[in-house]
Structure 1
Amino acid sequence: MTSSVDPPSQAAGVRQRLVTPALLMRFVTAVGASSSFFLLLSVVPMYAQGVPGRGSDEAGLVTGALMLATVVGELMTPWLTARCGYRVVLGAGLLLLGAPALVLTLSQDMTWIVAVCLVRGLGFALTVVAGGALTVSLIPLERRGEGLALAGVVVGVPSLVGLPLGTWLASHTGYGPVCTAAALLALISIAAVPGLPGREVAPGKPIGVLAGGRSPALARPAAVFAVTALGAGIIVTFLPLAVAAQYSGLVAAALFVQPAASAVARWFAGRHGDRHGADRLIVPGLLASAAGILVTALTDVPVAVIVGVAVFGIGFGITQNATITLMYSRVPASGYGTVSALWNLAYDAGMGIGAVGFGAMAALTGYPWAFALTAALMVTALAPAWWDRAAGRDGRS
């Protein structure tokens, strides 16, 4: 696997159109899936913890179950997409993501909640992996970083709105209405699926997910991104529980600031990466992510919480764009599905491990120390980041 196998750009000076009708339809499905997912991401742990006697372990368990099912689904999605095509897999994913949300509030039994999370996680996996491979195939090569940044912003807006809106709706209207809204957002977006390509015939031998995971050219950036994703899973799951209740509105503000900072940073990282190389951004993004989590450890200081999640958001957005752009540049078009799977595996495994591990850690140390220890753990990802830069300078993958 070489450092870059992309074909050369078209005629010099020709700037291809970025947003096409097919890409717009893809954005509709992306918004539907992302809105449904993020609207409930912080709400379901609150719902699970609403029974007397439950604590951080149960909150972490439901997010962990969601991410576990997502990871398993992401491993099989490239195979499904190769056989069934984009439309079938995306439509099935939106259905599995939306329909279970309608029945979540039938019971607060942990077995029921975990079962709903498992089905929704599988549906989300189908949408992100098949959708990610489809998205990159619809973006002109010479504008890939910018196009992926735009896609990131499109997906980021629902998280920007959905995370704080979900917790607000749950507090003011109850869990039933917010679950219904999350279901409808995914189910209605299925109407855009017929406007998408069914499948793409790409030259080159397909790359299996396991083979891609064994390639250092893909594994190193994926590992760095997985470590930064720990912080994302922790913030959405535990920030509503860690911040003192007397700071009214702080959680909603923080859950707005973090994805907003990520979306803006991801956009600028994409444009910068197209011009100067995405590999230069990974170490700064990682360091900013760790610094943000460390500042957030001051959970009883409102300004520190806002600044911390903002700095984390900037670092996370940079790392998101830099890692996925770098990984796509290292495979032929036939490997796009594998890159999408590996990158999303890193994302969701990081979020799930972060939620489960942080819940157990916080039960022993309290939230501030758990945030500080997480920041220290994230710094260890500097090793694969530096190895990747060194391999790139040497012309190796």
Structure 2
Amino acid sequence: MKGMTTCELPAVQVPGLLSTRFVRLLVMVFGSGLSMYLLTSVVPLYLAANGSGGVGVGLSTGAMMFAAVAVELLVPRMLARWGYQVVLGLGLVLLGAPSLVLLATASLPIVLAVCVVRGAGLAILVVGAVALVAEVAPSTRRGEALGVYGVAVGVPAVIGLPLGVYLTNLIGFDALFVLAAVASLAGLVTLIGLPAASTEKQQVRVLGGVRGSGLLMPTFVFASVTVAAGISVTFLPLAVAGGNHSLVAAALLLQAIAAPIARWLAGRYADRIGPARVLGPALVLAAAGAAGLIFFGNPIAILAGSVLFGTGFGAAQNLTLTLMYNRVDRSRYGQVSALWNLAYDGGWGAGAILFGAIVGGTGYPLAFALTAAVVAAAVVPAVRAA
């Protein structure tokens, strides 16, 4: 009708995501991730080349991850007492500097000690960084922020996992150890401008109040996937016939590319429809990919399995973490980060150690089949949660 005006709805303000603090955090995460992934598959190769058997190789990954698990229980308390800058700086030093010790020796006890110290640094960085993402990101875009963080973590895997294996024949182990140290220590300059401490008093007990909180299911579901992840990056280079480093590098590259892409996409969908509804399909993909490694003598099966597993693994990373953050208030962000990383590193380390212990008796096909079964078992609680 004439004389009437339409009401204009105010534009919805979408909070910005890439703030200066978030970008600094992403740069630090990239460098520390590169330091980790350059040596993830190289240290087992280094030990194998110097006479350590399958148990020793598995212990190298297990030592790093179980050291990380032990320290992750302490990180929320460290953050509450000293703040993000000090604690993250300590993590960068512990992750990077011990790599230089490997220049002097390949003795299994010393290498394992290096892995333990690096695991402590890794624990500090992953728990602190994930908690800081939730701190600085808008709550309405948390899933997407965790997806972007996943890309910052995943790109070093894309570069480091295959590049580390490839460069062992090109520049040697020593140059890789130096490169890994520099990549982590350079991140110290990015700490300027990051928040000194959380805006709220934090829950410092990692296991306190977990029962009935809704955090146990995503924690154990994610651990089942990380079991397979630790096995694939540790033993695939040893399982492939003839030590075909080019094939292994290609498989690790595809897995590393698929994971951050899936992690980002899963975050976007989780913000819209909820993470629980996407978690089941993600685990199905991960289980199918792990099953592909049973046919480790077939290059197509290895490459296809790596893509499927990387996709499911990357999506599960984001979905389980977003689900956990959505179930708690801000005061428990550090606790959620620690629990999630316990699942990550505990599963990774347990997978490597157990696989190394049983593969000599079962052979690689059956051992990989058992790995796929562990992942597949997690589909049921994930579907029920939806």
Please confirm whether the aligned pair reaches a TM-score higher than 0.5, indicating the same fold: yes
Rounded Cα–Cα distance in structure 2 between residues aligned with 1:21 and 1:319: 28
- The answer as to 2:349 corresponding to 1:373 is no
Rounded Cα–Cα distance in structure 1 between residues aligned with 2:97 and 2:15: 39
Q: Indicate conservation of the 8 Å contact 2:95/2:117, yes or no.
A: yes
Q: Indicate conservation of the 8 Å contact 2:98/2:181, yes or no.
A: yes
Question: Which residue of structure 2 aligns with residue 47 of structure 1?
Answer: 46
From the superposition, tell whether residues 225 and 33 of structure 1 become closer, same or farther in structure 2 (CA, over 3 Å).
same
Q: Indicate conservation of the 8 Å contact 2:203/2:331, yes or no.
A: yes
User: 1:12: Cα distance to partner?
Assistant: 7.2
Question: Which residue of structure 1 aligns with residue 355 of structure 2?
Answer: 358
Question: Which residue of structure 2 aligns with residue 196 of structure 1?
Answer: 194
User: 1:225: Cα distance to partner?
Assistant: 0.3
Matches within 5 A, 1:48-63: 48-52=47-51, 54-63=52-61
Question: Which residue of structure 1 aligns with residue 4 of structure 2?
Answer: none
SS at match of 2:297: coil
Moved >4 Å (runs of 4+): none
Rounded Cα–Cα distance in structure 2 between residues aligned with 1:146 and 1:327: 15
Rounded Cα–Cα distance in structure 1 between residues aligned with 2:365 and 2:348: 19
| 1:311 counterpart letter in structure 2 | L
From the superposition, tell whether residues 111 and 283 of structure 1 become closer, same or farther in structure 2 (CA, over 3 Å).
same
Q: Indicate conservation of the 8 Å contact 2:69/2:342, yes or no.
A: yes
Q: Indicate conservation of the 8 Å contact 1:212/1:338, yes or no.
A: no
Rounded Cα–Cα distance in structure 1 between residues aligned with 2:315 and 2:357: 29
Question: Which residue of structure 1 aligns with residue 6 of structure 2?
Answer: none
Q: Which runs of 5+ in 2 are unaligned?
A: 1-9
Q: RMSD over aligned Cα, in angstroms?
A: 1.4
Q: Pick from 229, 238, 243: which aligns with 2:240? A: 243
Which is worse superposed, 184-193 or 242-251?
Answer: 242-251
- The answer as to 2:26 corresponding to 1:31 is no
SS at match of 2:295: coil
Rounded Cα–Cα distance in structure 1 between residues aligned with 2:316 and 2:215: 14
User: 1:388: Cα distance to partner?
Assistant: 3.0
| 2:39 counterpart letter in structure 1 | L
The alignment's TM-score, normalised by the length of structure 2, stands at: 0.95
Rounded Cα–Cα distance in structure 2 between residues aligned with 1:182 and 1:121: 14
Instruction: Choose 1 or 2 for highest CA Rg.
Output: 2
Number of positions where the alignment pairs a residue of Structure 1 with one of Structure 2 = 377
Q: Percent identity?
A: 46
Rounded Cα–Cα distance in structure 1 between residues aligned with 2:243 and 2:207: 48
User: 1:302: Cα distance to partner?
Assistant: 0.2
Q: Which runs of 5+ in 1 are unaligned?
A: 1-10, 390-397
Q: Indicate conservation of the 8 Å contact 1:78/1:337, yes or no.
A: yes
| 1:366 counterpart letter in structure 2 | G
Question: Which residue of structure 2 aligns with residue 277 of structure 1?
Answer: 274
Question: Which residue of structure 2 aligns with residue 308 of structure 1?
Answer: 305
- The answer as to 2:222 corresponding to 1:225 is yes
Structure 1, residues 58-108: CA drift from partner, whole Å, max 9, x if none? 110000000011001111000000000000000000000010001113111
From the superposition, tell whether residues 87 and 183 of structure 1 become closer, same or farther in structure 2 (CA, over 3 Å).
same
Question: Which residue of structure 1 aligns with residue 175 of structure 2?
Answer: 177
From the superposition, tell whether residues 212 and 250 of structure 1 become closer, same or farther in structure 2 (CA, over 3 Å).
farther
